[in-house]
Structure 1
Amino acid sequence: MDSGFGYFATHDVVGPGPLALLVEQRGHQALFFTEHTHIQASGAPPVPPEGGALPRKYWHSYDPFTACTAAGVATTRLRVGTGVCLVPQHHPISLAKTVASVDHLTGGRFEFGVGAGWNEPEIRNHGVDPSRRFAVMKEHVEAMRRIWTQDEAEYHGEFVSFDPIWSWPKPSQRPHPPVLIGGTGPRVLDRVLAYGDGWLPNYAPGILDRVRELQRRAADAGRPVEVVIMAAPADPAVLEACEKAGVARVMAWLPSAGLDRLQREMDSFEEALAEMRGV
């Protein structure tokens, strides 16, 4: 089981490149960046999934693909990714090119964490009905897979439709970067098995039971599925349980803050990893 971090990269704290280099130098394997294209300025304030007031980082964050590119060119081994990209808020032809370009520019080190979003006004501002967002995400991912893997890609669905197109570059990874389905909703495992390469949930009590359920279902289907857990706590017992459950990577969220605080948070997570590993 390897390790990494998730980060709301904003314009007023440690940037993606310097942080990525630090994460790589400290021996971790991945750094993921989150996404919100905007936050509505009127109406009732949105409440984030974790509850409480919405932090300002939600509307001050960099575009995650730009952040991934900066992180990738600053490092040589680090995996970079989205945690998560709000897929329904993008056009799939453009998004397919963006993903392929980042993967190509980083030498095949990109991981595509995807989600349908939770902030309904944000989703509506992109012309998407929030009640159909999961169906939209499915078609977008399916269409992008065709663009990544076919010289002349064509797709016709309810929300996405295009005749044969040419689009390069193709991703460096074959057949394409891993698609990690985010979320912990009741149907998320169905989505992982239908059109994902792995699952990217936030840690919560009971999540490892669902990891084992996913692994059983994947084995029955005769296909490999990777699990990467975000929001992993700095708790050796929890980290050990993740490893025993077959989790491939644990990732802790870093605060959008200055270097001293970031290093303290990294120290805490690393100390828990070391204790778990008996180092």
Structure 2
Amino acid sequence: MKFGILLDHQYEPGDDIGRRTGELVEFTQHIRDLGYDSVFGIHHYLSSLSTPQPLPLLSRLIDHSGDMLLGTGILILPLGHPVHWAEEIATIDQMSGGRFVLGIGSGYREDEFWSFQVERRTRVSRMNESLEVMRKLWTGERVIHHGQHFALDGVRCSVLPAQKPHPPVWVGANGPIGIERIARSGLPWLAPSNVRRNWAVGNLNDYRAHRKDAGFSDDDATFPIQRDLCVADSFDDAWAIAGSHARRSYGEYVQYGMDYFESQWEGIKHKALFFGSPDDITAKIQDFASAGYNHFVFRAQWLGLPIERSVEIVDRFAREIMPRFR
């Protein structure tokens, strides 16, 4: 069982990003010393919140992360060119000594696609073709590619990843068609944080069945999921610490058409968040692990929550819960 942390590097507009980055450096050093396995960054452009870009941020954290994996959870692949992504990702994989995990997704925010002059309806085909081109470039051979969205004519990638054939790729998706497509490609599906238990477990069962039908074994496979985490003496105590901050963070998504974070908040609050006592959270992990999940990526930061509270959350998880799974 592996446990990681998703950095929530989203701040009020005008916040001091230099100071916030310093906090994240210290936070990363702390989770490194506590024995966590991975640390991930998020990706958005033109957000209502000040959101530093993940690849520069993760590069800043390389020398402070020990042997933890570093990754994106997720990178919106359709908003960039695969040549750009291939060389950027190969560079950070080399700089980290082969510790990078590429989490990707197709995106959803209309303003991002409109501003990049990318048609939103093409986002899935662009993501899939981008990954195809990147994998070709990472072979180090000359690439000739003439696809629906991209064309290359006998070029080579100037930097190759340290990991061979390339860094692990995890793919995010929230619908059954996308999840089945990921399964049949053999890639890990990164399950989202805000979905209820039965959705997460049911879709993992379907994903694993589709993987098996496509000829892929579960041996040594990664089944990652993101969850919001707050450890306290009880659910009510956890909610008192972080509940208003978590709701405020999720409330930011409503303006992007995700109004169910408002209308269905009570269900999300009780059935999606890993908030509660050490025994409560241990039971939740055991439940999800019995379904097959084996890499939990926890968010312990939300808008306005002091970093000291986040440190207390990851401390208590490492002391009182992590040893039960190691």
TM-score, shorter chain, exceeding 0.5: yes
1:197 paired residue among 179, 187, 198: 187
- Aligned twin of 1:230: 226
What SS does the aligned partner of 1:226 have?
coil
1:22 aligns with 2:30: yes
What are the equivalent positions in structure 2 for 1:250-261 lying under 5 Å apart? 250-256=296-302, 257-261=305-309
Offset, 1:64: 0.4
Structure 1 unaligned spans of 5+: 40-55
Deviation by residue 1:16-38 (Cα, 9 ceiling, x = unmatched): 43222111111100010001121
- Aligned twin of 1:86: 76
- Aligned twin of 1:217: 210
Q: How many residues align?
A: 260
CA 1:81–1:194 in structure 2 vs 1: closer, same or farther (change >3 Å)? Answer: same
Counting aligned pairs with the same residue, the percent is 23
1:185 aligns with 2:178: no
What SS does the aligned partner of 1:187 have?
helix
Offset, 1:110: 0.4
Taking the aligned partners of 1:260 and 1:82, their CA distance within structure 2 comes to: 24
- Aligned twin of 1:244: 290
- Aligned twin of 1:76: 66
Structure with the higher helix share, 1 or 2: 2
Taking the aligned partners of 1:275 and 1:17, their CA distance within structure 2 comes to: 25
What are the equivalent positions in structure 2 for 1:54-69 lying under 5 Å apart? 59-69=49-59
Taking the aligned partners of 1:228 and 1:83, their CA distance within structure 2 comes to: 11
- Aligned twin of 1:262: 310
Structure 2 unaligned spans of 5+: 11-16, 229-273, 276-280
Offset, 1:273: 2.9
Taking the aligned partners of 2:322 and 2:294, their CA distance within structure 1 comes to: 17
- Aligned twin of 2:8: 8
Deviation by residue 1:59-95 (Cα, 9 ceiling, x = unmatched): 3121101111112222220101001001111111011
Q: Is the 8 A contact 1:14 1:259 kept in 2?
A: no
Q: Is the 8 A contact 1:89 1:126 kept in 2?
A: yes
Q: Is the 8 A contact 2:180 2:210 kept in 1?
A: no
Q: Is the 8 A contact 1:82 1:111 kept in 2?
A: yes
Deviation by residue 1:169-226 (Cα, 9 ceiling, x = unmatched): 2111111111101122121223313546211112422211221222222123222442
- Aligned twin of 1:160: 150
2:201 paired residue among 208, 232, 237: 208
| Paired amino acid for 1:262 | S
Moved over 6 A (4+): none
RMSD over equivalenced CA pairs, Å: 2.1
Taking the aligned partners of 2:32 and 2:313, their CA distance within structure 1 comes to: 15
Taking the aligned partners of 2:169 and 2:71, their CA distance within structure 1 comes to: 10
What SS does the aligned partner of 2:20 have?
coil
| Paired amino acid for 1:35 | H
CA 1:276–1:90 in structure 2 vs 1: closer, same or farther (change >3 Å)? Answer: same
TM-score norm. by structure 2 comes to 0.74
Q: Is the 8 A contact 2:69 2:101 kept in 1?
A: yes
- Worse overlay, 255-264 or 159-168: 255-264
- Worse overlay, 79-88 or 160-169: 160-169
Q: Is the 8 A contact 1:255 1:262 kept in 2?
A: yes
CA 1:73–1:195 in structure 2 vs 1: closer, same or farther (change >3 Å)? Answer: farther
What are the equivalent positions in structure 2 for 1:116-135 lying under 5 Å apart? 116-135=106-125
1:33 paired residue among 34, 41, 50: 41
Deviation by residue 1:90-117 (Cα, 9 ceiling, x = unmatched): 1110111001001110000000010111
- Aligned twin of 2:89: 99
What SS does the aligned partner of 2:103 have?
strand
Largest Rg, 1 or 2 = 2
- Worse overlay, 197-206 or 23-32: 197-206
Taking the aligned partners of 1:100 and 1:273, their CA distance within structure 2 comes to: 35
What SS does the aligned partner of 1:134 have?
helix
